[in-house]
């Protein structure tokens, strides 16, 4: 299908398009959910036997030992060339520096004559899922493991699928060794998520499972959330770019294609009030696709919209709540203040999404499918939790009578008794 330039639809039409997109995603999830439910239940009942069965079925290999030996991790790092080692080292420094600033703190304060507050503590155990496939994704390992380490998680394991020979990509093993991860398991898909939720003879149960994966991984996380902690349900990737006449059409085309190449269900949108920019970007897109077509032949998920002005663009962005937002305008440092909903913002011509994907600092595990309207990127905060506390003192006048009246209204007899006993008005038995 050719790429066309259209006027920006009104919010009602955008809402209908979004509704259709969500319905498609829901139907796709529902289609695999029955199969995933069967996988989850089999893992729950059969443990390692189910892991073995599904790994052979989906990955085509017969795994004898799930846990990869630490020596293999070390060898993978030592066999990597110096340029790869430097890339991982440099990214680790940037990502760690950014995430160090996120660490939450406990607090306490005085209330009347008493104390109250919140105590923050890291989770005990976390599984970081790193996708497999034709290419390795060491960046996903860095983005999930580093914030868990900063939070102080005691037990961090990595789950990643093997290839048909039962091997895990060397780049992933090398990055794990560099970060000091001791436990990497060669298992992926819904069976890995279920194994980390319930535990098996070989795979420990964890408090939370984080990291991106395919639709089977997402469906398993959806089924098991509440039984085990999860970060988010990842949908197809998205970018919205808002550009004016100062932007480079060639760069815009490359940025749109960089997002589109993820998946035929990805979404790449360019909003601009400048017709010339849109026309030139369209020409570059067509030229690039002639030279290097996307790996799938279905509809190219790229949309070019002309807006009346930038204010209309900001309205559309806040409605769409995209995973990634690039602002390539004359004054991005002012324009970004108009944004309420976006997972990650990339300001100025030198900030393509790919710069963030590979570890400039912020996390690349982001809310999708309008999730940025109500949730945040993966962070150190996802690897811990708060407990509130109160410590009333004897010399404080406490609201026993008032709260007992509310307990009576709510029909909670022993709540009322518990309060009145301390207020000196206990009923005789």
Residues marked active site are found at 323-324
Cα 193 from Cα 220, distance rounded (Å): 6
Neighbours of 79 (CB within 10 A): 11
Q: Which helix (H) or strand (E) holds 388?
A: strand 384-391
Partner residues linked to 118 by β-bridges: 107, 388
Among 272, 408, 262, 388, which residue's Cα sits nearest to residue 323?
A: 262
Separation in Å, CA 364 to CA 64, 141, 223, 308, 349 = 33, 11, 24, 32, 19
Contact 258, 68 (CB under 8 A): no
Alpha-carbon distance of 59 to 163, in angstroms, equals 6
DSSP code at position 129: E
List the one residue out of 375, 55, 380 whose CA is nearest residue 194.
55
* Tokens at 344, concatenated: 């990650």
Distance, CA of 160 to CA of 139 (rounded, Å): 13
* Distance of alpha carbon 223 from alpha carbon 387, whole angstroms: 26
- What 3-state class would DSSP assign to 191? helix
Kind plus residue range of the DSSP H or E element containing 210? strand 208-210
Name the nearest CA neighbour of 268 among 297, 306, 239.
239
**CB–CB of 136/172 below 8 Å?**
yes
Q: Say how far apart CA 62 and CA 138 lie, in whole Å.
A: 24
Q: What is the dihedral of CA 420, 423, 428, 429, to 10 degrees?
A: 50
């Amino acid at each position: 299908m050719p790429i066309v330039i259209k006027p920006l639809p009104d919010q009602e039409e955008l809402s209908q398009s979004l509704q259709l997109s969500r319905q498609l995603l829901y139907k796709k999830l529902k289609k695999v959910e029955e199969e995933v439910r069967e996988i989850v239940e089999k893992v729950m009942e059969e443990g390692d036997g189910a892991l073995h069965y599904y790994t052979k079925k989906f990955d085509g290999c017969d795994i004898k030992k799930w846990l990869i030996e630490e020596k293999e991790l070390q060898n993978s790092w030592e066999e990597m060339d110096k340029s790869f080692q430097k890339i991982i080292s440099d990214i680790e420094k940037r990502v760690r520096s950014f995430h160090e600033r996120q660490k939450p703190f406990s607090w306490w304060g005085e209330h009347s004559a008493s104390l109250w507050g919140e105590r923050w503590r890291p989770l005990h155990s976390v599984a970081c899922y790193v996708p497999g496939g034709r290419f390795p994704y060491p960046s996903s390992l860095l983005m999930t493991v580093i914030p868990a380490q900063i939070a102080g998680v005691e037990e961090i394991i990595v789950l990643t699928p093997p290839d048909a020979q039962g091997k895990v990509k060397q780049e992933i093993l090398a990055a794990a060794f560099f970060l000091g991860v001791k436990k990497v398991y060669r298992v992926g898909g819904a069976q890995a998520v279920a194994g980390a939720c319930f535990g098996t003879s070989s795979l420990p149960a964890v408090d939370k499972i984080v990291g991106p994966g395919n639709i089977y991984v997402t469906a398993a996380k959806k089924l098991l959330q509440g039984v085990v902690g999860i970060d988010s349900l990842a949908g197809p990737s998205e970018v919205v770019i808002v550009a004016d006449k100062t932007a480079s059409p060639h760069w815009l085309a490359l940025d749109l294609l960089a997002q589109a190449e993820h998946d035929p269900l990805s979404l790449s949108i360019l909003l601009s009030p400048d017709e010339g920019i849109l026309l030139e970007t369209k020409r570059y897109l067509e030229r690039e696709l002639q030279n290097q077509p996307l790996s799938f032949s279905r509809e190219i998920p790229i949309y070019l919209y002309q807006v009346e002005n930038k204010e209309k663009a900001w309205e559309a962005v806040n409605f769409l709540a995209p995973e990634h937002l690039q602002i390539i305008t004359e004054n991005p440092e002012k324009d970004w203040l108009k944004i309420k909903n976006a997972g990650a913002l990339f300001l100025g011509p030198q900030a393509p999404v790919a710069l963030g994907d590979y570890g400039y600092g912020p996390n690349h595990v982001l809310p999708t499918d309008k999730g940025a309207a109500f949730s945040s990127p993966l962070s150190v905060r996802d690897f811990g939790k708060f407990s509130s506390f109160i410590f009333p003192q004897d010399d404080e006048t406490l609201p026993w009578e008032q709260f007992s009246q509310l307990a009576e209204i709510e029909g909670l007899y022993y709540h009322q008794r518990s309060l009145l006993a301390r207020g000196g008005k206990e009923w005789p038995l």
